Amino acid sequence: MHIRVHVPSQTLDLLDDAGETIRCYAISTSRHGLGTEPGSLKTPTGRFRIAEKIGDGAPPGEIFVSRVATGKIGREGDDHDHVQTRILWLDGLDDDNKNTHDRYIYIHGTNAESRLGIPDSFGCVRMNNLDVIDLYDRVPAGTTVEIQP
């Protein structure tokens, strides 16, 4: 399996080994654009792998702080940009995106589900909470991810 994030359409596709689409999900990449600079709050592009999966069994909407479940549920309209439900922590495979893991770039659930489909995150790839559970359950650590500009 392989994950492809298509920034122009704000979609994430889960592909089988033959390249056929298994599922297509609405996402949100960074409101600050694309890039790999530390502190830029931009979504990196290129080739990645899922380095770590965090959140087994957490309820939909559970808020994570520093990758630790808080026991609190995020709600739409909250002013915070919460990391919720599941975390797929990315590791860059290209020379220019090798800092991705150190930048804490994830695929994760969000409390801003109504904003999916437009660039609105602070670097990560946001997903609907139920969709990120579905994706998380389908892919192992080590799955490759491509973020296309």
pLDDT confidence of 78, banded at 50, 70, 90? Answer: confident
pLDDT confidence of 132, banded at 50, 70, 90? Answer: very high
Mean pLDDT across the chain: 97
Chain centroid to Cα 53, Å, comes to 11
Strand bridging mode 106-109 / 125-127: parallel
| Confidence (pLDDT) at 66 | 97
| Confidence (pLDDT) at 35 | 98
Q: Given 2.40.440.10, 3.40.50.1000, 1.10.1040.10, 2.30.38.10, which CATH number is that of 2-148? A: 2.40.440.10
| Confidence (pLDDT) at 79 | 81
Structure tokens at 39: 């502190």
- Per DSSP, the residues of 3-15 read EEEETTTTEEEEE
d(Cα 14, Cα 5) in Å, to the nearest integer?
9
Q: List the end-to-end C-alpha distance of the chain, in Å, as a whole number.
A: 21
Q: Hey, where are the domains in the chain?
A: 2-148
Total residue count of the chain as it appears in this document: 149
Confidence check: pLDDT of 95 > 90: yes
Residue range 2-24: average pLDDT? Answer: 97
